[in-house]
Amino acid sequence: MDYIIEGIIGAFKLILSLDKEIYSIVLLSIYVSFASTVISSIVGVPLGLFTGIKEFKGKRLLSKIYFTFMGLPPVVVGLVTVLIISRSGPLGSVRLIYTPTAMIIAQSLLVTPIVTGIIFTNSKDIGLEIINICKTLGANKRHTFFKLIKELKTLILVATVTGFGRAISEVGAVMIVGGNIKGHTRVMTTFIAMSNSMGNYDTSIAMGIILLTISFVANSFLYNRTMGDSNGYKIKKY
């Protein structure tokens, strides 16, 4: 029992000590996950909206594919990414392995289906309604698209924050493509996994607390935004 209490005390000491290494790890984590969430949203939001609202042949198959990819295990994503970007892989000459860029690529592959899937499942009814209203008001395609984004901003926010949560908490993909290199690619989750295997419970707990805090802040932000939304429709995460 003692080591748990000692660990928690040590954790707070570490957080308050403003240790440079710890904070650069935190910043890198946020940077990598934020970048991959942005990329995923740029791809996932239009894709989810388009395939979600439009009726076409094979839509059911597509939704099955989306759901499968939403549950991709991070280690599999890591493995696929590493096969492509390793020195002897097809993109080997770009020299991406063990870099933050590689981690962003892997996390984007992981998060894009999640963003797409959430938008896809939730945009159909409300989306059609908005489009019909826009049509009656005589808006062109571009205007309709931006109106859609504007009306569905809560949904898009939910999708992005969920995606960010997934990115920042996964360890499998970044461990494989990043290699947990000190000062280069060490992020919060790989740091926790490593300290844990070395028996340094206080640093593990400290990083765990920081990670939870970031999740909490992101979700509080989401909560505040969605509370103020008057659309009144319910969003399913899946």
By the rule CB under 8 A, 199 interacts with other proteins: yes
| Least Å from the CB of residue 122 to other proteins | 41
Name the residue nearer to other proteins (CB basis): 84 or 134. Answer: 84
User: Within its chain, how far is the Cα of 203 from the centroid?
Assistant: 24
Q: Where are the alpha helices (DSSP H) in 137-236?
A: 141-151, 153-169, 172-178, 188-197, 201-227
Which listed range, 82-90, 141-149, 161-169, 203-211, lies at the site for other proteins (CB under 8 A)?
Answer: 82-90
By the rule CB under 8 A, 1 interacts with other proteins: no
Burial class (CB in 10 A: 0-12, 13-18, 19+), 204: buried
Name the residue nearer to other proteins (CB basis): 118 or 174. Answer: 174
Instruction: Work out which of 28, 35, 70, 97 binds other proteins, going by CB under 8 A.
Output: 97
Name the residue nearer to other proteins (CB basis): 36 or 180. Answer: 180
175, HSE (Cβ side, Cα atoms, 13 Å): 14
Interacting residues of 178 by C-beta distance below 8 A, sequence separation 6+? 98, 99, 100, 102, 103, 184, 185, 186, 187, 190
- Site for other proteins, residues 108 to 167, rule: CB under 8 A: none
By the rule CB under 8 A, 197 interacts with other proteins: yes
By the rule CB under 8 A, 79 interacts with other proteins: no
Name the residue nearer to other proteins (CB basis): 66 or 201. Answer: 201
Q: Which residues of 22-44 are buried (b: 16+ CB within 10 A; e: fewer)?
A: beebbebbbebbebbbbbbbebb
Name the residue nearer to other proteins (CB basis): 111 or 202. Answer: 202
| Least Å from the CB of residue 22 to other proteins | 15
Name the residue nearer to other proteins (CB basis): 3 or 238. Answer: 3
- Site for other proteins, residues 161 to 190, rule: CB under 8 A: 179-182, 184
| Least Å from the CB of residue 78 to other proteins | 14
Which residue shows structure tokens 């690619």? 185
Tell me the two tokens of residue 11. 């954790």
Tell me the two tokens of residue 165. 């949560």
How far is Cα 15 from Cα 128, in angstroms, rounded to an integer? 49
By the rule CB under 8 A, 3 interacts with other proteins: yes
By the rule CB under 8 A, 92 interacts with other proteins: yes
Which residue shows structure tokens 């996390």? 107
Name the residue nearer to other proteins (CB basis): 97 or 173. Answer: 97
Residue 108 contacts residue 40 (beta carbons within 8 Å): yes
Q: Which residues bind other proteins (CB under 8 A)?
A: 3, 86-88, 92-93, 95, 97-98, 179-182, 184, 197-199, 201
